């Protein structure tokens, strides 16, 4: 780690709530920063390196008071959050207002004016930090629902910038979005961007409808004409850019001898069941874990499945543990798992192997390799990367993906066994279909899924977004955007030709 000057400016800046690095305390008490394993870092790392870009975000703990620094080749510009900011902006407005509202109000959103005030204040802090470190004519890419006001705030202070925004979660239909007391401010905040990206075509449509209803601006997909009284008048592009994973990297990991050996060990540890089913989710009410458990429990208790033959491994990684709805969910899930295991496990075979842990990537890959069936039963999910990771790991071309139609991934992964998780009988039938699927059918489906995931990987996602942003900016103000960004785009286009 080395310090860099606070006044340094960059041609390419990414802004996200969390930094792409985690603070790690080693056994000897020393502290260091480790790159988070997330796909976003993997996707943007080459672009960052090429453009010598910077990442603006929060370090994950209150009041760190850090100066900009460099780690793993990435320039880091930390934004400080206090305990109050975490409570009001992050756990409050982001995770207890926007998250449930944007996921079909599965859990009721709370609306509190102090949370909103904090959201405005913290968004301004992120916008100021980004404005301070971005060079004239530079490009800023803002990520996710915690920072929806940043595009407009940046546009006001830095009209010279090229501004992109990507929403990782769904954008709700107007009937739901309109519940938000600050709906107009949010829409106006996003319209500060030149390009607004969503996971699904439906999300982009929902956003455009909200714009029409709230502002009266004209929209004709993919363009929103921002006209007076809004200033500056310009065109905003609103489109779907479905996010993906570093598929080649995942496959390479799955192929390693150690991951293969670990997968065999996992199977043996479970008592060598005929079928291993797997669920991997943050412990979140959007993921439909309770629906999955209900269907599986019923299949065991009505005799359709035998606990000696089939085991469900459920990884529920800890998430948002200070938010009340997540505490209640944990209790509900763990009670259900306990009941099913208590009623239906035998001395030698457990019905559900439940793990409330985060695991290293290698262990995740071993689980994907070991699993004959992956269950994705989300009630609403922007994309669901777990589904794509499973597909990328199945280089043997077998295994079955059961996929909720309410996950963004279902727009692309058409050969999955598609389910409506609310339809418990349908879900049970799909689980049986997956378990009994002939090998040839598994292969035919998996080949098609793998082709899609390999072709539309995360590098392509970031490339397509940044190319669209560069084009939009060019048409707005001639070729006035940064020349260094041109170099990055030349590089991404060369990469595409090489693919």
Evaluated on CA atoms 151, 155, 156, 157, the torsion sign reads positive
Q: Cβ closer to ligand GDG: 133 or 147? A: 147
Nearest approach, Cβ of residue 221 and ligand GDG (Å) = 22
Phi, psi of 77, deg, nearest 5? -120, 100
d(CA 277, CA 270): 11
Region binding ligand GDG by CB under 6 A among candidate stretches 65-73, 118-126, 297-305, 356-364: 356-364
Backbone angle region of 260, left / alpha / beta, with phi > 0 → left and psi within -120 to 50 → alpha: alpha
Picking from 481, 468, 466, the residue whose alpha carbon sits closest to that of residue 158 is 481
Give the contact letters, 287-326, x = binds to ligand GDG (CB under 6 A), - = no: ----------------------------x-x---------
Taking the least distance from each CB to ligand GDG, the nearer of 68 and 242 is 242
* Segments in 139-245 forming alpha helices (H): 150-157, 174-177, 183-190, 201-215
Closest CA to 94 of 406, 316, 33, 81: 81
Select from 69-77, 81-89, 332-340, 353-361 the region that touches ligand GDG (CB under 6 A): 353-361
CA distances to 52, 86, 103 from 177, rounded to whole Å, are 38, 24, 10
Among 111, 230, 359, 395, binds ligand GDG (CB under 6 A): 359
Range in contact with ligand GDG (rule: CB under 6 A) among 79-87, 299-307, 360-368, 439-447? 360-368
CA-CA-CA-CA dihedral for 74, 77, 83, 84, to nearest 10: -130
> Interface residues for ligand GDG in 362-421 (CB under 6 A)?
364, 381-386, 389
203 binds ligand GDG (CB under 6 A): no
The reply on whether position 330 binds ligand GDG by CB under 6 A is no
358 binds ligand GDG (CB under 6 A): yes
Q: CA dihedral defined by 258, 261, 266, 269, rounded to 10 degrees?
A: -130
73 binds ligand GDG (CB under 6 A): no
Residue 407: count other Cβ atoms within 10 Å of its Cβ.
30
CB of 41 to ligand GDG, least distance (A): 11
243 binds ligand GDG (CB under 6 A): yes
Q: Give the nearest distance from C-beta 147 to ligand GDG in angstroms.
A: 14
Integer Cα distance of 272 and 260 in angstroms: 15
Question: With respect to ligand GDG, which residue has the nearer C-beta, 143 or 481?
Answer: 143
Structure tokens at 245: 């994973």
Residue 363 or 467: the one with the smaller Cβ distance to ligand GDG is: 363
Residue 406 token pair: 């309410």
Report the residue from 8, 112, 168, 235 that binds ligand GDG according to the rule CB under 6 A.
168
Task: For the CB of residue 368, give the shortest distance to ligand GDG in the complex, in Å.
Answer: 9
- Binding map of ligand GDG across residues 416-455, x = CB under 6 A, - = no contact: ----------------------------------------
Helix, strand or coil, per DSSP, at residue 165: strand
- Residue 488: CB atoms within 10 A of its CB come to 24
- Decide whether 11 or 389 has the Cβ nearer to ligand GDG: 389
Q: Which residues bind ligand GDG (CB under 6 A)?
A: 37, 39, 168-169, 243, 280, 282, 315, 317, 358-361, 364, 381-386, 389
């Amino acid at each position: 780690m080395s310090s860099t000057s606070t006044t340094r400016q960059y041609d390419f800046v990414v802004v996200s709530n969390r930094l792409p690095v985690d603070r790690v305390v080693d056994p000897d008490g020393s502290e260091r920063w480790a790159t988070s394993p997330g796909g976003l870092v993997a996707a943007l790392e080459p672009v960052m390196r090429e453009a010598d870009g910077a990442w603006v975000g929060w370090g994950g703990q209150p009041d760190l008071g850090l100066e900009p620094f460099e780690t793993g080749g990435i320039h880091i510009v930390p934004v400080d959050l206090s305990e109050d900011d975490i409570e009001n902006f992050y756990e409050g407005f982001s995770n207890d207002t926007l998250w449930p509202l944007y996921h079909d109000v599965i859990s009721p959103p709370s609306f509190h004016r102090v949370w909103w005030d904090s959201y405005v204040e913290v968004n301004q802090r992120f916008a100021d930090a980004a404005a301070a470190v971005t060079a004239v004519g530079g490009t800023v890419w803002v990520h996710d629902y915690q920072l929806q006001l940043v595009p407009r705030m940046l546009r006001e202070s830095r009209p010279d910038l090229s501004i992109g925004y990507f929403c990782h979660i769904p954008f709700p239909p107007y009937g739901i979005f309109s519940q938000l007391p600050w709906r107009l401010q949010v829409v106006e905040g996003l319209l500060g961007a030149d390009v607004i990206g969503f996971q699904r075509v439906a999300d982009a449509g929902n956003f455009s409808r909200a714009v029409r209803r709230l502002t009266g601006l004209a929209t004709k997909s993919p363009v929103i004409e921002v006209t007076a009284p809004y200033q500056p008048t310009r065109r905003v592009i609103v489109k779907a850019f479905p996010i993906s994973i570093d598929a080649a990297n995942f496959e390479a990991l799955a192929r390693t001898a150690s991951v293969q050996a670990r997968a065999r060990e996992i199977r043996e540890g479970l008592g060598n069941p005929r079928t291993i089913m797997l669920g991997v989710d943050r412990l979140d009410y959007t993921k439909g874990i309770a629906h999955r458990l209900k269907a599986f429990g019923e299949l065991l208790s009505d005799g359709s499945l035998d606990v000696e033959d089939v085991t469900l491994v459920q990884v529920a990684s800890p998430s948002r543990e200070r938010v009340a709805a997540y505490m209640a969910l944990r209790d509900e899930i763990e009670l259900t798992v306990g009941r099913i295991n208590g009623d239906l496990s035998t001395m030698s075979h457990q019905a559900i192997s439940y793990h409330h842990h985060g695991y290293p990537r290698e262990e995740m890959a071993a689980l994907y390799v070991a699993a004959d069936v992956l269950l994705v039963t989300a009630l609403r999910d922007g994309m669901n990367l777990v589904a794509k990771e499973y597909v990328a790991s199945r280089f043997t071309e077998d295994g079955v993906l059961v996929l909720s139609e309410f996950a963004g991934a279902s727009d692309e992964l058409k050969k999955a066994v598609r389910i409506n998780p609310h339809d418990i009988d349908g879900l049970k039938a799909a689980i049986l279909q997956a378990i009994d699927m002939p090998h040839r059918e598994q292969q035919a489906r998996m080949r098609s899924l793998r082709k899609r995931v390999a072709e539309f990987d995360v590098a392509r996602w970031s490339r397509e977004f940044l190319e669209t942003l560069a084009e939009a900016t060019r048409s707005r103000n001639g070729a006035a955007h940064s020349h260094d960004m041109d170099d990055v785009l030349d590089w991404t286009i060369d990469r595409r030709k090489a693919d």
